[in-house]
Amino acid sequence: MPEQYKVITTGELNASIEGFGEFTTKEVEFIGSDDDPDFLLQGANSERGFVLYVPKYESEKYSLHPGSLAKAFYEVGGRLYGEVEEGVIKVTVNKPETVIIAFEILVKESASETRIKITGSGTFKGRSPWASKHRGFLTIARGNAPLWFEGPDIIKPKPGVVSPGFQIVGRTGIANPDDWELKILIGSTVILQNKGQSGREFSYDVPANLIPAGTGFYFMLDYYIWPAWSKWTYSGDLVMGMAAPDIIFPKNDSSLSPRSKISGRGTPGATVRLYEAGSGAILYGSATVGVDGNWECVPDVALPTKYFPLTADQVLNSLASGYSTPVYCYVSPLSKPVIELPQQGGTVGSPPAISGRGGLPGASIQLHQHGDGQTVYSRADVNDQGRWVMRSWATVPPKGSFLMTARQVNGVDVSDWADGVDVVIV
């Protein structure tokens, strides 16, 4: 309805509430239309409110009881106090568009056997048409359904262990809620509250880092259909599980030797365990996650030489995670490196420039004198193209004839010796 034609209800609603005292408000609504015989009356303040549904726009006295056509609805803090067990509403229609009421109701509190008596009266002038927010309530009132809205169904998760980043999904078949409210609690402490969704289904992705692993918690979910919130539905007891660890190295389709160093991220204090994806038969290695969340592991059992799907889980205080996303890598034995520079029989300066190929990216090339497996003259890392260059020296080779060789080291894997290159260092 355009704003200039909008009808504003005026009037006042007063009540005497047993155990509370006096209630009064001028925040009232008179809802109906010429096409419908029934109407709604509402009055509320910041704490409490009443909604009265009357099936006929006529002067009459209506009896109230569970299942009656006329209905009274008493809410506290936006929620139903309980069920109206008995009572009466006396309606006097004074045209044009004015209704005077008097009511007396007995309400049973939902959480106990307590019953309170409420008497009240009010005058409402100016009937407004039905708005969308009233339609859900009207459908329920006309259908003789209870005004105490049942809580939603929790579709997921089910009670038990949940994974970090889990999703909460709730659903109701009652009308079309205008709002939903979610509360996540640890003990009696609310750690997250979410509102603002509408419709018959609610969904929320819980932040992955909200609840520490192993912590017990639960959540509550309800919905709002004008003029009140439904009952809460409780999730049951939940325990936050462990997230799967991350494998940082190797990357997909990289090359590994059977006992290459593997590294990643996990939950501090947890034990990371390495497996072949799709098979938990062999534990290839394990590592403890440091306080910084990092872990690294050289497999205790050599990875098989094939295109290998590597995965991992982690366990802390008997709580195990799921498996990480598999990393597929090519596993093969280390090949012996090839020294390309200097060339066989050449004369070189001191220290000589030495480079080569035939390494596993990320592995280390160690330079030795032929026949001396103890003294490492220099080391170089193999680049992504499988090449390497000696750039620094632990020990400068002696001048004169020098028969050099090298081997490749990766984790605890060691290759065969490179073919020797005999040079004269001057």
Could you report the per-residue pLDDT of 30-85, keeping only the tens digit for each?
998 888 888 999 999 999 999 999 998 889 999 999 888 899 989 998 888 888 89
Is the CATH number of domain 338-425 1.10.3720.10? no
CA-to-CA dists, residue 48 to 8, 20, 27, 79, angstroms: 21, 11, 11, 9
pLDDT at residue 145 in the model: 62
- CATH architecture entry for 153-240: Sandwich (2.60)
CATH of 10-142, one of 1.10.1060, 2.60.40, 2.40.128, 1.10.1740: 2.40.128
Note the pLDDT of residue 360: 87
- Whether the Cβ atoms of residue 402 and residue 424 lie closer than 8 Å to each other: yes
Residue type, 155: I
Q: Is the pTM value of this prediction over 0.85?
A: no
pLDDT for residue 4:
41
pLDDT at residue 144, as a whole number: 67
State how far the Cα of 5 lies from the Cα of 72, in Å rounded to an integer. 29
Equal CATH topology for 246-331 and 338-425: yes
Low-confidence ranges of the chain (pLDDT < 50): 1-5
Among 117, 95, 124, 120, which Cα is nearest to 15's?
120
Per-residue model confidence (pLDDT) at position 1: 42
The CATH code belonging to domain 246-331 is 2.60.40.10
Domain boundaries, the chain: 10-142, 153-240, 246-331, 338-425
| Pair of tokens at residue 252 | 């997909």
Beta strands in 187-324 (DSSP E): 189-195, 201-205, 216-225, 228-229, 233-234, 238-240, 246-249, 254-256, 262-265, 271-276, 285-288, 294-297, 307-316, 319-320
Q: Hunting for tokens 């910084």 — which residue is that?
A: 292
